[in-house]
């Protein structure tokens, strides 16, 4: 992978990120690399930048400064362009942004020398159909969540896999997750942890009325269709916890594997199980 242009996206309003960017700009320039800043990031330090969609078309690699949320939003933009991402963790848990601040420069040196391996992560493609018309579509890295509002009654979600009827969940909602997203909302709702290299989809009901409705892991090539059949007007579709819309009775949410993948740059050998032990405080 030849690197000439490097894009940088940071979490908005994060002082640590802005300070790091100011240090990184001369560091990259001294080595002959052109830097393209995302517009909001650039404006916070008084420079000019470009929109995220444009950034994805211009750069060979993307450096993301922030937490997993910043990585998720960046991944949705650059995945269709096959742009690899190096995540620098300035947030909390950091399951996706694995490089710590103390490791920034050594990780960047390895990236520039082509010494980073590339880890591909499965993504999902979600569409919403209303009266047969597609009214929304998104590509996501973590999860697609259908959930009721805080004061709404339990909702009914008629669910099919590859056009085969599975069940009608009576629950607070349903999570459709990638293996990468298995350590996010899915984990909080009692779903299983899946190794991120796996090719499958997790279906986890949220507080199901029928206690035998347990999480289900299905092949990655499957297509899931979920139809809202209850009258509730307080139901929402949320994608990666960041993008959302209201659903109406009769709406169908289709979820399947995306043709795009998130490409994460891994600057060193790592043990996924060690990451789990550290992030989830196992054995303490």
Tokens of 201: 């989809």
Print burial letters for 138-177: b (CB count within 10 Å at least 16), e (below 16): bbbbbbbbbbbeeeeeebbbbbbbeeeebbbbbbbbbbbb
Specify the higher pLDDT residue, 271 or 85: 85
Q: Does domain 5-116+267-280 have CATH number 3.40.50.10330?
A: yes
Cα-flanking dihedrals φ and ψ of residue 23, to 5°? -80, -35
Q: Which range among 73-77, 207-211, 253-257, 277-281 has the greatest average pLDDT? A: 253-257
pLDDT number for residue 14: 85
Q: Where are the beta strands (DSSP E) in 95-248?
A: 117-130, 133-140, 143-148, 155-161, 164-171, 173-177, 200-206, 216-219, 224-228, 235-239, 243-247
pLDDT level of residue 98 (50, 70, 90 thresholds): confident
Residue with tokens 């300070």, as numbered in its chain = 19
Nearest Cα to Cα of residue 231 among 154, 143, 142, 117: 154
% of the chain at pLDDT higher than 70: 99
pLDDT number for residue 47: 93
Section 10-14 average pLDDT:
87
Half-sphere exposure of residue 78: CA atoms within 13 angstroms, side-chain side:
30
pLDDT level of residue 160 (50, 70, 90 thresholds): very high
Residue with tokens 């290299």, as numbered in its chain = 197
How far apart CA 208 and CA 276 sit, in angstroms, is: 27
Helices 104-112/15-30 angle, 10° precision: 40
% of the chain at pLDDT higher than 90: 77
Q: Are 10 and 17 in contact (CB under 8 A)?
A: yes
Confidence check: pLDDT of 159 > 90: yes
Confidence check: pLDDT of 53 > 90: no
Nearest Cα to Cα of residue 98 among 113, 110, 85: 85
Class of domain 123-259: mainly beta
Confidence check: pLDDT of 91 > 80: no
Q: In whole angstroms, how far apart are CA 248 and each of 4, 8, 234?
A: 47, 38, 8
Confidence check: pLDDT of 269 > 80: no
List pLDDT tens digits, range 65-78: 998 899 999 999 99
Q: Are 273 and 151 in contact (CB under 8 A)?
A: no
Domain with CATH 3.40.50.10330 in the chain: 5-116+267-280
Residue with tokens 């997750």, as numbered in its chain = 177
For residue 50, the 8-state DSSP code is: B
- The structure's pTM equals 0.92
pLDDT number for residue 255: 98
Beta partners for residue 167, in sequence order? 159
Domain with CATH 2.60.200.30 in the chain: 123-259
Q: What residues are annotated to the active site? A: 68
Nearest Cα to Cα of residue 95 among 185, 11, 203: 185
Secondary structure (3-state) at 209? coil
**H/E element holding 265?**
strand 252-266
């Amino acid at each position: 992978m030849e690197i000439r242009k490097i894009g940088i996206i940071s979490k908005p309003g994060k002082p640590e990120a802005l300070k790091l960017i100011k240090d990184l700009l001369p560091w990259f320039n001294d080595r002959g690399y052109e830097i393209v800043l995302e517009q909001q990031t650039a404006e916070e330090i008084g420079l000019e930048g470009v929109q995220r969609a444009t950034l994805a078309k211009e750069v060979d690699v993307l450096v993301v400064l922030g937490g997993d949320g910043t990585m998720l939003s960046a991944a949705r933009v650059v995945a269709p362009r096959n742009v690899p991402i190096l995540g620098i963790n300035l947030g909390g848990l950091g399951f996706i942004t694995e490089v710590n601040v103390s490791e920034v420069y050594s990780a960047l040196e390895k990236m520039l020398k082509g010494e980073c391996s590339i880890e591909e992560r499965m993504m999902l493609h979600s569409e919403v159909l209303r009266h047969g018309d597609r009214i929304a579509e998104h590509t996501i890295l973590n999860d697609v969540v259908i959930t009721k509002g805080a004061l709404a009654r339990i909702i009914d979600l008629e669910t099919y896999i590859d056009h085969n009827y599975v069940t009608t969940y009576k629950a607070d909602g349903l999570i459709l997750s990638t293996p990468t997203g298995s350590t996010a909302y899915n984990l909080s709702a009692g779903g299983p942890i899946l190794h991120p290299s796996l090719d499958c989809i997790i279906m986890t009901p949220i507080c199901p009325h029928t206690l035998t409705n347990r999480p289900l892991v299905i092949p990655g090539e499957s297509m899931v269709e979920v139809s809202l059949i209850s009258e509730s007007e307080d139901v929402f579709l949320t994608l990666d916890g960041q993008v959302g819309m209201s659903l109406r009775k009769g709406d169908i949410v289709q979820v399947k594997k995306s043709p795009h993948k998130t490409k994460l740059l891994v600057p060193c050998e790592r043990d996924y199980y060690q990451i789990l032990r550290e992030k989830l405080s196992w054995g303490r």
